[in-house]
Amino acid sequence: MAEGEERDERRYPQNLQGILKFCVDNTKSEDATGESQFSEMTAERRQWLQEALASMGGGKDLVKQMMEDMQLLLKPDSEIDVESKEQALDDLCELVEDLDLANDFFKIGGFTLFPPLLKHPEPSIRAVTAELMATLAQNNPFCQDSLHGSKALDVLIPIVEDSEENDNVRIKAHLAISSLVRAHEASQKDFLAADGCSVLLRAMQSGVEKLQIKATFLLCGLCDEQSSVKDILHDMGMVHQVVAMLRLPHSTFHEHLMRALLAMASDHPNNIKECQKSELQLESLLNQRLQLLKGKEEYLEETESCQQLLKLCFNDTQKTCHSVDR
């Protein structure tokens, strides 16, 4: 091929449709059916995308707006302030709430931004990046497939597990994990294979209340969606761990712990047997908790979980504390 012909073939597209076609063609190996990896954009591709985006003219639409945000995020920190990058990420979070725009974000190479941004020195950038991933995956099978194929869990789980990491970054990373694995069988399988139940336990024990609540919420969801999860929780002694946390000074987190205990015991005879073990003294604990919560409307859900656990595990044998004013 002549040198001039090669230059002409590599010419930048002159409109949005041309850039979309390029990005789709160059992400075929990264789509839901490919063997993609969660890897950074190459320097050559980064430069091409920056220059192509900068060369665009014409009217503005939402996909172009996402591209402009991406172009800004690709700039080195020496050329742009953190607040502007945060604003671009916030803008993307809002745009990708639309499922079609979320899918377009993948097709224009947006997922290649995640590895460098999750390593950014500013915690606020890392946190909003994880939030963006969560928004993309929320109720979106295409983006769940794409993030799963990109091995996103391999990056997100260590962030949640890092006790030295900023609390908000850990919370947002956990939110992304939850959005990825809920109602997505392949991601659930990988999460469980990565000892995800132990990840949840450590998050529940972290002392970071929002992280504790999100971990407990995901545990309940997995119990509802995957019956095998209850077997794993039984084998790792999760019932005993949750009861131990319930014996700590009462807090709003206990409402979620009660719900988790009920989720584990429901339709699972072995976990019911664990609840009934005399050394746990769970029946006494539940009755004491009902007395503590009696007449307190703000603890209605925890009260109801207590009552259901007593009925499920102890056949409602003690009636004295079951009458709770509403």
Whether 312 is in a domain gets the answer no
pLDDT tops 90 at residue 59: no
CA distances from 144 to 102, 137, 148, 177 (A): 11, 5, 6, 10
Model confidence band, residue 318 (pLDDT cutoffs 50, 70, 90): very low
- For 251-281, how does the pLDDT look when each residue is reduced to its tens digit (9 = 90+)? 999 999 999 999 999 999 999 999 999 999 9
Which of 59, 57, 93 shows the shortest CA–CA distance to 73? 93
**315 Rama class: left (phi>0) / alpha (psi -120 to 50) / beta:** left
Whether 199 is in a domain gets the answer no
pLDDT at 38: 63
Q: Tell me how far apart the alpha carbons of residues 183 and 164 are, in angstroms, rounded to a whole number.
A: 30
Which of 2, 48, 47 shows the shortest CA–CA distance to 22? 48
Region 119-144 average pLDDT: 98
- State whether residue 111 is helix, strand or coil: helix
Q: Please return the burial class of 46, using the count of CB atoms within 10 Å of its CB with bins 0-12, 13-18 and 19+.
A: middle
% of the chain with per-residue pLDDT over 70: 79
Whether 46 is in a domain gets the answer no
- For 206-223, how does the pLDDT look when each residue is reduced to its tens digit (9 = 90+)? 999 999 999 999 999 999
- The DSSP secondary-structure symbol of 267 reads T
- For 63-96, how does the pLDDT look when each residue is reduced to its tens digit (9 = 90+)? 999 999 999 999 999 999 999 999 999 999 999 9
Asked if residues 191 and 181 have their Cβ atoms less than 8 Å apart, the reply is yes
Asked if residues 282 and 264 have their Cβ atoms less than 8 Å apart, the reply is no
Residues 6+ apart with CB under 8 A from 120: 126, 129
Which of 321, 310, 250 shows the shortest CA–CA distance to 276? 310
Whether 72 is in a domain gets the answer yes
Enclosing H/E stretch for 191:
helix 185-193
Whether 7 is in a domain gets the answer no
CATH assignment at residue 171: 1.25.10.10
The two most distant CA atoms of the chain are separated, in Å, by: 92
pLDDT at 32: 45
Whether 84 is in a domain gets the answer yes
Q: What is the dihedral of CA 241, 173, 181, 196, to 10 degrees?
A: -30
**261 Rama class: left (phi>0) / alpha (psi -120 to 50) / beta:** alpha
Whether 3 is in a domain gets the answer no
Q: Tell me how far apart the alpha carbons of residues 211 and 151 are, in angstroms, rounded to a whole number.
A: 22
Q: Tell me how far apart the alpha carbons of residues 89 and 86 are, in angstroms, rounded to a whole number.
A: 5
Which of 23, 24, 27 shows the shortest CA–CA distance to 49? 23
- Encoded amino acid at 284, one letter: S
The domain in which residue 140 lies consists of 56-194
Model confidence band, residue 3 (pLDDT cutoffs 50, 70, 90): very low
Q: How many domains is the chain partitioned into structurally? A: 1
Whether 111 is in a domain gets the answer yes
- For 27-57, how does the pLDDT look when each residue is reduced to its tens digit (9 = 90+)? 544 444 444 456 656 667 666 666 655 554 4
